[in-house]
Amino acid sequence: MRTSIKLLLIAFHFSACSYSTSFGRQLKLTLELEKSRFLEAEPIYAFVYLTNTGASDVNVYLFHDTQLHFSLYDEGGKPVTQTLSSIADAYFVKPRLLPAGEKMIETENLQLIFGNNRHNWTVYKNYLVAGRYSATVWYQHFNEQTRKGDTLISNTVDFEVARPRGDEGKAFQLLMEGLDLLSQRNYDLQIRKLSELIRLYPQSVYAPAAYDQQRLTIGVILHDEEKASGSRLRVIEEYPDRGAALYQFLSIMKINDKYYSREKKEELLKKYGTGHPNTRLGKASKDLMRTTQYIVK
């Protein structure tokens, strides 16, 4: 199946009249998942690394989650979903310098991609069912010299989705009940239901998702942004070695508001770069401190 996916993407590459330049050849796109086995409705965080393997620095435009194109296939090689985006606005975006030998990182939640909505947790009602899948990502690097795109294609990653059982099955049920309450606009009860999930099953794969759902409800719907801002930090502090922590951490780096100032971001970079050195979060923090991927005003 890896070969068939590569052929499909390569065919798209040529049909789109992409360009291959010296800059394109020195950039390497790598896809990693937090693990190889997930449960139904569990967030599936994809980590995408853009590495400058050349000897010279490169200006990178739009290496951002909304500019990553994911292709997801089931065990039989049938496309589950594909995302599309555009580099049409690249001209207006300030480039980020990627020094030689350094890398940038982005994250995406494949469950949200499957639901075709990156920002709406209710799509977990339409989660990936049990089975085996493969994922590939491609990205168009905007070449400032040619003013055209260099298409970079990543490796293919295989993973499995299983049905939740035991305590995870109970936590899954609480998450689904919380989503039902959200659709019913019963926000107070929804928040309590998610708090029950966190209290009873704090180490569940669904606990970080419960925190994030609370954040969205409190901040986006109830407009208590100050209270909601703490939910991201709770995930980071309680689950530093999980993909959810890195996902929330990178989200904070992109936010420009009074709760996450430049000074606060720099403080977080230093804190988690040294406080959790052997975790995925700590290693990513060090990478971010060495590049200008996240320029905050």
So what's the pLDDT on residue 113? 65
Give, in degrees to the nearest 5, the angle at Cα 54 between 48 and 57.
Answer: 85
pLDDT of residue 84: 41
HSE (CB half, 13 Å, CA atoms) of 45? 24
Residue 10 has pLDDT above 80, yes or no: no
Q: Residue 173: enclosing H or E segment and its boundaries? A: helix 166-183
β partners of residue 52: 27
The amino acid present at 144, given as its one-letter code, is E
The average pLDDT across 66-83 equals 79
- Name the token pair of 281: 């979060």
State the DSSP code for 65.
G
Q: 76 or 22, which is more confident?
A: 76
User: Model confidence over 101-116: pLDDT tens digits?
Assistant: 888 887 778 776 665 4
Residue with the bigger pLDDT between 229 and 141: it is 229
| pLDDT 10s digits, 135-159 | 998 887 666 666 666 788 899 999 9
* pLDDT mean over 263-289: 74
Please give, one letter per residue, the 3-state secondary structure of 220-288: HHCCCHHHHHHHHHHHHHHCCCCHHHHHHHHHHHHCCECCECHHHHHHHHHHHHHHCCCCHHHHHHHHH
pLDDT digits (tens, 9 = 90+) for 258-270: 677 778 777 877 7
Which of 82-96, 154-168, 267-281 is predicted most confidently? 154-168
State how beta strands 157-162 and 37-39 pair.
Answer: parallel
Map residue 180 onto helix, strand or coil. Answer: helix
Give pLDDT, residue 277: 75
Question: Which three-class secondary structure state does DSSP give residue 163?
Answer: coil
Contact (Cβ atoms closer than 8 angstroms) between residue 250 and residue 293 = no
Residue 171 pLDDT exceeds 50: yes
